[in-house]
Amino acid sequence: MSYESPTIRPPSEWRSGLLRVTRGCNWNRCRFCGIYPHLGQPDYSIRPLEEIFDDIRLLAEKRPDIETLFLGDADPLSAGTKTMLRVLDEVKKQFDPTRITSYARFSTLYKLGIVELGTLAKAGLSRIHMGLESGDEKILIFQRKGQNAKMVRTVASWLKECDIELSVYVLLGLGGQERWQKHARETALLLNDIQPDYIRIRRLFVYPAAPDGSPPCPLSREISDGLFTEQSPEGTILELEMLLDLLEPMNAFFTCDHSNNYLNISGQLDTDKTEMLQEVRTFLSLPEKQRNQRYQRTGSGI
């Protein structure tokens, strides 16, 4: 019996017990993404329940003190509510968790509907991490994200009603140099509408060919054809400044919690927004040489 770990997890789940319900991504079409192929998981599948149960028991043997659990890979709820309920039930037989978190896609939750989400919440699902990426419809269509602002608003309101925390990722650079202001503005407006619990900032990483020979992410093609111009490091900071400036001081934790970010600011938007914005502006006022050193030091990665 060997334990199978999710391909990736959010940085905030470093202490959690990690459970793999599905493998890879059931969508796998976002133009900017190549994460699962890049990490050796190009295909999607739902793991057999017995395998998942074995992993839950193994985890319980090795780490009986686990307080929080995280479910992967990209969209475990795509396994269906019945499967998820059995997984959550087995988790609760073995642990007494204070939180059970999952990655998910807005479109999957939209298909499930509020009743099934309520059932999952009652069974213990308490936080969901999803890629919002952008609030701009044109960017979402171009990047083939498979979601739109209306769907995001609906799902976010269901999650609030079901008492499931919402943690969203925003991807700086997703509009390229062509559309960065629209990207920052529309994303801020959508976030102001949905008021998530967490806003996690990431920076676009254009996936190269994977070690197993899988091709680079489709966006590379648009870049080489001149249809998309990658955001500059300084432009990325200007996006961050505009986004933060337009966000309402809501009860949400804003964080750049990935090493790929040039600035690692974080804080509560309702109490720390001014300070965070000041941090960005102080950086922008540094001499060019110092700013460039930061950009070079940070580099690019996943």
Taking the complex as a whole, the smallest distance from the CB of residue 129 to ligand SF4 amounts, in Å, to 10
3 state SS of 45: strand
In the list 7, 28, 181, 298, the residue contacting ligand SF4 (rule: CB under 6 A) is 28
User: Which residues lie below 8 Å from residue 80, measured CB to CB, with a gap of 6+?
Assistant: none
Residues 93-132, one symbol each (x = binds ligand SF4 by CB under 6 A, - = not), give: ------------x-------------------------x-
In the list 18, 19, 21, 25, the residue contacting ligand SF4 (rule: CB under 6 A) is 25
In the list 22, 27, 91, 109, the residue contacting ligand SF4 (rule: CB under 6 A) is 27
Size of the site for ligand SF4 (CB under 6 A): 11
Structure token pair of residue 297 = 């030091």
User: Judging by DSSP bridges, how do beta strands 165-172 and 266-268 pair with one another?
Assistant: unpaired
- CA end-to-end span of the chain: 31
d(CA 55, CA 291): 46
Taking the complex as a whole, the smallest distance from the CB of residue 44 to ligand SF4 amounts, in Å, to 9
* Burial class of residue 282 (count of CB atoms within 10 Å of its CB; 0-12, 13-18, 19+): exposed
Taking the complex as a whole, the smallest distance from the CB of residue 248 to ligand SF4 amounts, in Å, to 26
33 binds ligand SF4 (CB under 6 A): yes
171 binds ligand SF4 (CB under 6 A): no
Structure token pair of residue 220 = 């590379």
The answer to whether the CB of 99 falls within 8 A of the CB of 68 is yes
210 binds ligand SF4 (CB under 6 A): no
Structure token pair of residue 166 = 């919402």
Structure token pair of residue 13 = 């789940």
Span from 23-31, 119-127, 228-236, 256-264 in contact with ligand SF4 (CB under 6 A): 23-31
Single-letter amino acid, residue 104: A
139 binds ligand SF4 (CB under 6 A): no
In the list 19, 21, 30, 172, the residue contacting ligand SF4 (rule: CB under 6 A) is 30
Residue number, 36 or 95, with CB nearest to ligand SF4: 36
157 binds ligand SF4 (CB under 6 A): no
Structure token pair of residue 192 = 């102001």
Taking the complex as a whole, the smallest distance from the CB of residue 206 to ligand SF4 amounts, in Å, to 13
Structure token pair of residue 136 = 């701009």
In the list 52, 56, 74, 265, the residue contacting ligand SF4 (rule: CB under 6 A) is 74
203 binds ligand SF4 (CB under 6 A): no
Closest listed residue to residue 154, CA positions, set 193, 189, 199? 193
Handedness of CA 65, 67, 72, 77 (dihedral sign): positive
Q: Summarize as ranges the residues that interact with ligand SF4 (CB under 6 A).
A: 25, 27-30, 33, 35-36, 74, 105, 131
